[in-house]
Amino acid sequence: MMFVSFTVLMSWRLSGVIAHEWIGLSLMAMILTHLVVHWTWVEGSVSRLTRQRQRSGTIPLLLNTTLFFSMGTALVSGVVISKVVFPNHLLPGDYLHWHSLHEGASTITLFVLGLHVALNWDRIRNSFRRFLETRRAQRYDWRLSSDVLRRSAWVLGVSAVLVIGVFAAARIIPSHAQVLMTFPDGHTALVGPPPDIARIQRGSIMPNVAMGVPKFFLSSVMLIIAAVVGRRVLRLRLAPRQTKRNVERVLASVAAAKRAPRS
């Protein structure tokens, strides 16, 4: 769901600006949930790298950290330039300033996500295979235990650091006091940004398939190329022991699901 949501978000005209913003907020909620579920992996990776000096998990940790910060920057900047859900009524120059950060972070995320898929391809393939064989998804205990609360506190804390970092980075990036405009007679000139650029434009609310599909197709192709390069050229793989542990964990969950009584 996160993968599909991000791909759709890369072409906002495919969904329209209203759905684009709500999908972005849904993706943010899914990412936070994803981090809470897998926070033990984060803790274990940091522990192995800092205490046990195991370098095998360095690349996955760095790649996932980069993905978190790039996608987080895209989502936070998207909230800042919101026109529907959180209408901030930015000045034209401020809107272009944050929009450039939003576009740049989204493009970086596209390529990093492709590498992330390449790194975890064995896990993805095995998980789908086990799911299709059992027709039952893995169960999670979502009771408000102390461990879940502890994970949530860590995730919210790291997310708060990300938000502060995004606003700090926005101060460093040069502002857009002028933009290059092309006029009907064909000449171009640097002028001030249009005063209505931060408002909802006519025709942007509803989906525009004709304009959205090409961007969606191009983004999908770029993501696939990044995944193939990561898999075939960079040889991104999870460590054999880590992959074995993941498979054993999936098998254990499947066995537990079979033993559990059906409700």
Q: Which two tokens stand for residue 168?
A: 């700090």
Is 23 in a helix, a strand, or coil? helix
Pure H helices in 81-194: 92-119, 121-134, 146-172
Q: How much is the mean pLDDT over the chain?
A: 85
In a domain, 57, yes or no: yes
pLDDT tens, per residue, the chain with 263 residues? 999 999 999 999 999 999 999 999 999 999 999 999 999 889 988 888 887 666 767 888 899 999 999 999 999 999 999 999 998 888 888 888 899 899 999 999 999 999 999 999 998 888 888 878 776 555 656 666 788 899 999 999 999 999 999 999 998 887 766 667 677 777 787 777 778 888 888 888 889 989 999 999 999 999 999 999 999 999 998 876 555 555 555 555 555 655 656 54
In a domain, 172, yes or no: yes
For residue 6, the number of C-alpha atoms closer than 13 Å in the C-beta half-sphere is 25
- What is the DSSP code (8-state) at residue 19? H
Q: pTM for the complete prediction? A: 0.82
pLDDT for res 52 = 67
Q: Which two tokens stand for residue 27?
A: 């993706």
In a domain, 184, yes or no: no
Residue 6 in contact with residue 71, Cβ under 8 Å? yes
- Give dist(CA 126, CA 137) in Å, integer: 13
In a domain, 244, yes or no: yes
In a domain, 185, yes or no: no
How many structural domains is the chain composed of? 1
Domain that holds residue 200: 2-179+190-259
User: Phi, psi (5° rounding) for residue 204?
Assistant: -100, -10
In a domain, 112, yes or no: yes
CA 131, 133, 135, 136 dihedral sign is negative
Tell me, what amino acid is at 39?
W
